[in-house]
Homo-oligomer: A and B are copies of this chain.
Amino acid sequence: MEIEHPYLLFLGDAHDQLAAKTAQGIVDWRADWCLGQLRLEGCKADVGLREMSIQDAAAQGARTMVVGVANAGGVLPDHWIDSIVQALDAGLHVATGLHIRLSGIPRIADAAERAGRQLHDVRYSDQRFATGKGHKRSGMRLLTVGTDCSCGKKYAALALEKEMRAEGLDADFRATGQTGVFISGRGISIDAVVADFISGAAEWVSPDNEAGHWDVVEGQGSLFHPSFAGVTLGLLHGSQPDAFVVCHEPTRTRMRGVEHPLPTIAQVIERVVQNGSLTNPDIQCVGLAVNTSALGDAEAERCLAELSEEYGLPAADPIRNGVSSVVAELIRRFPKG
């Protein structure tokens, strides 16, 4: 399943900017895939695209309307359903990462059937996977891992893809979460897969490839997070990375959503190497991606310098400084790709 672009981004009547963070992520990384935004009355989000009606978007070649916004509560409002039906009738596919399955809403299912258009519910997976095999595949792989959930693993992977391409490497971002799937037009929400197939799905996400090619796989969760570590471990085994980058938010003291303290970067490196060596004995850490958004400039600089010194690895904030130092280290360690 590939989500066709260009996209029209549907923002609905989002009650604040944060509700549209999926749309914002798409614009940040794939602005050239986005024709415009559709905002309903009362919408408080704006991702800076041209305002565009469904008819105009269709006329200008849009292929898919992406619902890039979270709805409050568990029910899809009637006026959102109206817009989705209009988009289908205008010949667009519709993609969402909502908790509700579009195909479970009769008016939408009927419209998709009538128009012969696809519904992409990227939070759900009806796809069948094999169980993980653990065989070494051809090509190279880099995985972003974290001291916690929501600490910048997707952003770091996208920044690495961009910088690696700029350095002439053949690199592809591989999405394992909803927003990542919209950004790359393919991939899988790996936390939505049936538990038996986590590593199998991860193997599917980064198949055999050319010898010098790098898959840059979006990490999920943390091996130290009591809610999600199973997903993290299956993803680590299935993606069999040659290299990994540890993502970290230095001011956080507790893991997201639970009471557990954050592990240290050293603990994460040790645990990832231990577990990752099951499917790739040569796994190694090539750098740190540090989200310093909570720090001032001087503090951030000091933080990065200290971490780099402590671990003997490049430490970069992908947003503040970019990840060129990490990519330089990757090229140094893997000169032939």
Contacts from A to B (Cβ < 8 Å): 131-135, 190-196, 198-200, 223-224, 226-235, 237-238, 257-260, 271, 274-275, 278-279
Contact = CB atoms under 8 A, between A and B. Distances in A.
A230 B199 contact: yes
B233 A260 contact: no
A192 B195 CA distance: 6
Contact of A199 (B191, B229, B259): B229
Contacts of A230: 195, 198-199, 230-235, 237
Nearest to A135: B259
Given A233-B229, A259-B135, A190 B195 contact: yes
A235 B238 CA distance: 19
How many monomers of this chain does the complex have? 2
Nearest to A228: B196
A226 B278 contact: yes
A233 B234 CA distance: 9
Contacts of A191: 194-196
A226 B233 contact: no
A138 to B, nearest CB: 17
B200 A196 contact: no
Nearest to A279: B226
The 5 closest A-B CB pairs, nearest first, are A230-B234, A134-B226, A191-B196, A230-B230, A198-B230
A274 B229 CA distance: 13
Given A260-B278, A278-B260, A226 B132 contact: yes
Contact of A227 (B131, B192, B259): B131
A234 B199 contact: no
A224 B236 CA distance: 12
B192 A192 contact: no
Contact of A194 (B195, B199, B223, B259): B195
